[in-house]
Amino acid sequence: MKQKKCRGSACPELAGARQKAIEIGQTAEQYAARLEKAEQELLTDPLTGAYNLRGLETKFREEAGRARRHKLGLCMLFIDVDNFGRFNKEHGQETGDLVLKAIVEAVKQKLRAYDSVHRLGGEEFVVLLPETPSAEVAAIVAERMRKRIEELELQSHNGDGPLKVTVSIGVAALGPADGLRELIDKANQAERRAKDSGKNATFIFSDNGIVPGDERLAGQRAAR
């Protein structure tokens, strides 16, 4: 006697095979999602949500290679929170943590989709700005960030406030022979000059030395 063929959903074997395939597909997707999440966590600072140093190393390799291949500019901002140790001592570490989170959010508001902010540690951050032709252009972005942070009115963890905070920023552009360490060093030198100038300022590492990057100090320099 000829066995009757089953078709479509009426066939238990086909229906079972289809369900198994769906389950395998879902499992693969779930695994890929978990793997992606784990990789992302390895590159991210758990407190602020900014990328960490490992994330910076990864991002720099990608962007420096692209900048050199396509002759595109790549700039870095080195951001340090002014008087943060004293701030923590006066208001407590919990409030300090809230401040760091607020600063990262303020910085992200001024970034393009392909820019990135990274926490080096403590109150130090760097921002990578791909496709930015010069340090002078990057300084315009830095000034927007500095002013936005200066405008923040923050609350302490127990509701006290408003609390004010400022940052000093150093700006540098990727040179022909620069690796990540050299670029960080140049931006950090400019940031230290911003600190020495009285803080809450932006300075640029340039071929002519370290010069003011914000309008107030640039005007003072021109007047000398």
Residues labelled catalytic: 123
CB 171 within 8 A of CB 203: yes
**b/e per residue 165-180 (b: at least 16 CB within 10 A):** bebbbbbbbbeeebeb
Contact 194, 171 (CB under 8 A): no
> In the chain, which residue ranges form alpha helices assigned H by DSSP?
12-42, 53-70, 84-91, 93-108, 135-151, 180-196, 215-223
Q: How far apart are CA 170 and CA 77, in angstroms?
A: 6
In Å, how far are 52, 73, 123 from 56, measured between CA atoms? Answer: 6, 17, 16
CA 11 to chain centre: 55
